[in-house]
Structure 1
Amino acid sequence: MQSYRKLARNNKSKSAMSSVNASFSQNISIVHPENFFIIGLTGIQHSGYYYIFLFFTYFISVIGNSVVLLIIALERNLHSAKYIGVFNLALADIGETSALIPNMMKNFLFDSQYISYNGCMANMFFVFLFSSMQSFTLVVMAYDRLIAICLPLRYHAIVNNTSMILMTLAIWAFNTFVVALMVSLINRLSFCESNMIQSYFCDHGPVFRLACNDNSMNKIMAYVISVLYILAPMVVIVFSYLAIFLALIKITTWEGRLKALKTCVSHLLLVGIFFLPVCCTYIAQVLLYLTPNARIISTSFSYAVPPVLNPIIYVLNTAEIKDIIKKMIKNKSAPIRENISK
């Protein structure tokens, strides 16, 4: 009988201690550091050359995408549903590189690798927002090509300026909500040990792994982000092009097939440039052991290169944009020739 009483007392004391611990843990305030320290490319030999490469990629990206934006905005002939997607992609390219590379250059030039907590959250938000917009815009552009080739007679009824603008606004709103949710989940974490981020920007994974309290929700969110912005868009684009190729088979003449396929070349190149580096980095991380420095270089390369190549691909593969640029060059060179002749 006494043993039962002792057991009951022990159980009561254990339950009391657990309730005290639970209430204590609830009352603990969340600890946010004043600054984070972004390790970036420190410790990598000859990293200065890589920073020079990043500076030129940023310069070319901003110039190239700004030219595309101006041409589409000023030329009325390009105010169509197809070029709304191109405009949105160029805007996302400028936003992503501007959120990433200037901060890296500041760290390199001024040897200032500290970033405030709020600045880190803002950096994370904008990098992921513009990157997600790139991914979803490629899906929208695949949808445009799908309708144009599979349902050509109904294309203008289904895909028009109004529907494309509404679709673009919807993905902006959706991505803003998802990325804001991801960042808000970081704010519930407590950083009481290290503030050194093993990345070149305030990357989601390296940041939440620094937390000293439960970060299971952040891990789930990381998987959701990966599926939502990498795996799902790839699957949708692959199935879209399977439907496109089936439609091309039904076209009787080779000339008709090639003409329809040419309209997809630019988009296919953009898809490959965006998704292949990300997939290669992920596969290398799974199959091979990548050191933190190797992961940083590979991911930064996959972020920096697509915004540089996207405007070049569209200018070289789009007849309308090439013709407009040629006219602009001729119009500028004409007064110079007249002055020389005089």
Structure 2
Amino acid sequence: MRGANQSSVCEFLLLGLSRQPRRQQQLLFLLFLGMYLATVLGNLLILLAISLDARLHRPMYFFLSNLSFVDVCFSSTTVPKMLANHVLGRQTISFSGCLTQMYFVFTFMDMDNFLLAVMAYDRFVAVCHPLHYSTKMTHPLCVLLVTGSWVIANLDMLLHTLLMSRLSFCGDNAIPHFFCDLTPLLKLSCSDTHLNEMMILFEAGLIMITPFIFILVSYILITRAVLSVPSAKGRWKAFSTCGSHLAVVSLFYGTIIAVYFSPFSSHSAETDIAAAVMFTVVTPMLNPFIYSLRNQDIKGALRKVVAMTFSSTQ
């Protein structure tokens, strides 16, 4: 990798909050700190609740616990570095550090993508084939789905990282972003980035669009099955189990499509940053609230965790 990139730029500047007025920087720092702490606390509570409550040792919550773990890692690859840069008054990141951050950011983004698709399949089986749910959604299958997702996500980002490492950066090294994103990096390169852009649109597009289509088809079949239920109460119960997942899907894919599936020439730094904040910070923070507020099992498990915490401190 080092030999493939003989560039004059050995580090980048992550402008992040530094592009804002001083007063606004401080407010944004507090806002991002609060969102990050809420993300970590909320997702760790979900993980703890699922691990401690035997009633939640089911496929649906196995996938949810993996999603919570990925969301903590997702935010942790970007926000702490940005906050540390603000406190230390330093925006630099090495070339290898930049590629490493990019690798993990998009690996966890791919994992979010795959887990949402797997969770849609779980809901499809639960609603459309409830009598065969236990035989279809076995523990070995669940483990295989999650493991396969990790393998594909890592192979995908290994390819993009290797393609990025072959580029030369010999001019401006200021990235108008709070992390090493693909699009701003490609704009800074003085090499031919045509292959990188084609691979983003084709290979990464395939990895993002295929699960998205799978989710849409799953919910079309779920909707058709639910509408055939004669009881209004039964229809509402079925829809309520899927509503949380649909809310997360809408948030995640809406921002991803806006950033990575529009022409590179149409991207502006402000739009990309706003969208990136949505899928790297806001969505991981909201996931625990979305899944817990409408799920009686999760709320019951969280109450047990809180009660155990208070009883142990007394």
TM-score, normalised to structure 2, is: 0.90
Cα distance in 1 between the residues matched to 2:124 and 2:29: 40
Residue in structure 2 matched with residue 97 of structure 1 by the alignment? 75
Q: Aligned-pair RMSD on alpha carbons?
A: 2.5
Alpha-carbon deviation of 1:255?
2.0
Following the alignment from structure 2 to structure 1, what is the Cα–Cα distance between the partners of residues 296 and 19?
46
Please give the secondary structure, in 2, of the residue aligned with 1:31. Answer: coil
Contact in 2 for aligned 1:32/1:117 (Cα 8 Å): no
| Structure 2 residue identity aligned to 1:159 | M
Report if aligned partners of 1:61, 1:94 keep a CA contact under 8 Å in 2: yes
Identity of aligned residues (%): 31
Structure 1: unaligned runs, 5 residues or longer: 1-26
Amino acid at match of 1:33: V
How far residue 170 of structure 1 moved from its aligned partner, in angstroms, is: 0.3
Alpha carbons 1:199, 1:296 under 8 Å: kept: yes
What is the alpha-carbon distance in structure 2 between the residues aligned to residue 214 and residue 264 of structure 1? Answer: 45
Tell me which of 222, 240, 243 is aligned to 2:218: 240
Q: How many residues are matched?
A: 309
User: After the TM superposition, which of the residue ranges 246-255 and 99-108 deviates more from structure 2?
Assistant: 246-255
- 1:295 CA displacement: 3.0
Contact in 1 for aligned 2:9/2:171 (Cα 8 Å): no
TM-score, structure 1 length as denominator?
0.83
**Which one scores higher on RCO, CA 8 angstroms, separation ≥ 6?**
2
Q: Verify the 8 A CA contact 2:70 2:108 in the aligned structure 1.
A: yes
Q: Secondary structure at the match of 2:19?
A: coil
Tell me how far 1:35 sits from its aligned partner.
0.9
Q: Which residue of 2 aligns with 1:174?
A: 152
Q: How far did 1:42 drift? A: 2.7
Q: In the alignment, what sits opposite 2:298?
A: 321
Deviations 1:187-208 (A, max 9, x none): 1111222222232211112112
Cα distance in 2 for partners of 1:103, 1:318 equals 34
Aligned residue in 1 for 2:16: 40
- In structure 2, the residue matched to 1:300 is 277
The code of the aligned residue for 1:147 comes to V
Alignment of 1:200 onto 2:182: no
Which range is displaced more, 93-102 or 109-118? 109-118
1:100-115 equivalence runs, <5 A: 100-115=78-93
Unaligned runs of 5+ in 2: none
Structure 1 distance, partners of 2:101, 2:4, is: 27
CA distance in 2: counterparts of 1:192 and 1:266, whole angstroms = 47
Match of 1:152 among 130, 136, 142: 130
Distance in 1 of aligned mates of 2:86 and 2:5: 35
- Identify which range, 300-309 or 109-118, moves more after superposition: 300-309
The aligned counterpart of 2:7 is 31
Q: Tell me, in whole angstroms, the C-alpha distance in 2 between the residues paired with 1:282 and 1:163.
A: 31
User: Hey, what does 2:200 align to over in structure 1?
Assistant: 222
With over 3 angstroms needed to count, the CA separation of the structure-2 counterparts of 1:91 and 1:108, relative to structure 1, is: same
What do the CA deviations read for 1:108-152 (whole angstroms, capped 9, x no partner)? 111111101111111001111111111111110000001111111
- Detail structure 1 runs of 4+ shifted over 6 Å in the superposition: none
